[in-house]
Amino acid sequence: MPECWRPGPDIADTGAMGPPVVLAPPGHRAPAPALRGLVAYHGYDLRGHAPGRHRGLPSPSLTFVVTFGPGLELERPDGGRDRFAACVGGLHDTPERIVHDGRQSGVHLTVHPLAARVLFGLPAAELAEVTVDAQDVLGAAGRELAERVAETEDAGWETRYAALDDVLTRQLRRHDDTGEAADEVRHAWRVLTGPEPGGVGALASEVGWSGDHLGRRFRAEFGVGPKVAARMARFDRARRDVARRAGGGSLVLADVAADHGYADQAHLTREFRALAGCAPSRWVAEEVLTGMSGGADDPGAGLGSVQDGAAPRPRSSTT
């Protein structure tokens, strides 16, 4: 599978991004019943920002973006750029650098890592640390989806979601015989990405494996180790909390740190610098207060069963 890019943690300049002149209402709808627990949809149509850069932050989900209007433009570490009508990215622990001309329009799908097998026909590990064209993962279905959503420039959200439902439900039938991750690995994911993950050693004992064996099987499925997965999940919860509190005018970073198990505010700030490429105050100023990122309305928020469940394997009889 062709590797496109994954930038390092230092994002220097997001550009002069003032409040948007136009912020088209985002679209929200649950996916088709057969897809629930596997993927979540968030439509976005941001317009009127000054051109700049937007950070795509690490999270415990795979990212699948399908655009209408301008494609998604990603900046490589060497300064070159790749543009996608639709792309898929695996788990990563460094921020992406998304370049925009003032408009970003599309549907952001957050995909449970355990759903990669039934939607894409491969384990999430094969996508770790890379972003690739959707056609490289879904084949002709990826091209079809990109074309159908691109044609909805003058249509509504329901038309876009109907295309997603149609193509992705067919993907379930196509990969109905794909093997599942081991129960022990599925249980480890649920525990480690939950709010009280505990220690890896205790978890390994719980499932009857050695710590080394659990680590190997976990990395083979997801492309990251158990501790990295727990770290990214905690950071994802904390940064959404930061966004919600900042949006409500009641942000106290020390409180966020305490609520999410960080030793202190300095510890939380170090995690932001490592995983977001900047301090939380800068992220809030450049991303949250400008409307580029948020909490409950941010792509990937409110996943419910996608993040908390075991991604139960659907069968074609349910479609």
Task: Give 11-25 pLDDT, tens digit per residue.
Answer: 333 333 344 444 455
Domain count, the chain: 2
145 and 278 part of one domain: no
User: 153 and 69 in contact (C-beta within 8 Å)?
Assistant: yes
The domain boundary, picked from 161, 178, 195, lies at 178
- Please say if the pLDDT value at position 220 is more than 60: yes
200 and 213 part of one domain: yes
What is the mean pLDDT of the segment spanning 226-251? 95
- 15 within some domain: no
- 92 within some domain: yes
3-class SS at 53? strand
Q: Which pLDDT belongs to residue 25?
A: 55
33 and 138 part of one domain: yes
pTM summary value: 0.84
User: 219 and 225 in contact (C-beta within 8 Å)?
Assistant: yes
Distance, CA of 77 to CA of 207 (rounded, Å): 40
- What burial letters (b/e) apply to 152-163, b meaning 16+ CB within 10 Å? beeeebeebbeb
What is the mean pLDDT of the segment spanning 38-57? 89
The alpha carbon dihedral of 113, 117, 123, 129 has a sign of negative
CATH classification at residue 226: 1.10.10.60
168 and 37 part of one domain: yes
Confidence of residue 265 (pLDDT cuts 50, 70, 90): very high
- 265 within some domain: yes
Distance, CA of 200 to CA of 210 (rounded, Å): 10
210 and 270 part of one domain: yes
**Strand 62-67 vs strand 104-111: parallel, antiparallel, or unpaired?**
antiparallel
What are the C-alpha distances in Å from 67 to residues 107, 179, 221, 268?
Answer: 6, 31, 28, 33
- 221 within some domain: yes
Distance, CA of 36 to CA of 24 (rounded, Å): 26
- Please say if the pLDDT value at position 184 is more than 70: yes
164 and 96 part of one domain: yes
What are the C-alpha distances in Å from 73 to residues 22, 40, 101?
Answer: 20, 22, 10
CATH classification at residue 60: 2.60.120.10
267 and 226 part of one domain: yes
The domain boundary, picked from 132, 152, 178, lies at 178
- 306 within some domain: no
- 224 within some domain: yes
What are the C-alpha distances in Å from 188 to residues 93, 243, 314?
Answer: 19, 28, 20
- 2 within some domain: no
The domain boundary, picked from 126, 144, 178, lies at 178
Distance, CA of 299 to CA of 107 (rounded, Å): 9
Q: Which pLDDT belongs to residue 47?
A: 85
User: Which residue range(s) make up the domain with 138?
Assistant: 22-178
The overall average pLDDT reported for the chain is 85
What is the mean pLDDT of the segment spanning 118-127? 96
53 and 164 part of one domain: yes
158 and 192 part of one domain: no
52 and 77 part of one domain: yes
169 and 247 part of one domain: no
The separation between CA 108 and the C-alpha centre of its own chain, rounded to angstroms, equals: 8
Confidence of residue 52 (pLDDT cuts 50, 70, 90): confident
Q: Which pLDDT belongs to residue 116?
A: 97
Q: What is the pLDDT of residues 137-156, one digit of tens each?
A: 999 999 999 999 999 988 98
DSSP per residue over 260-290, as a string? TT-SSHHHHHHHHHHHHSS-HHHHIIIIITT
3-class SS at 67? strand
168 and 196 part of one domain: no
- 190 within some domain: yes
Which helix (H) or strand (E) is 84 found in, with range? strand 81-84
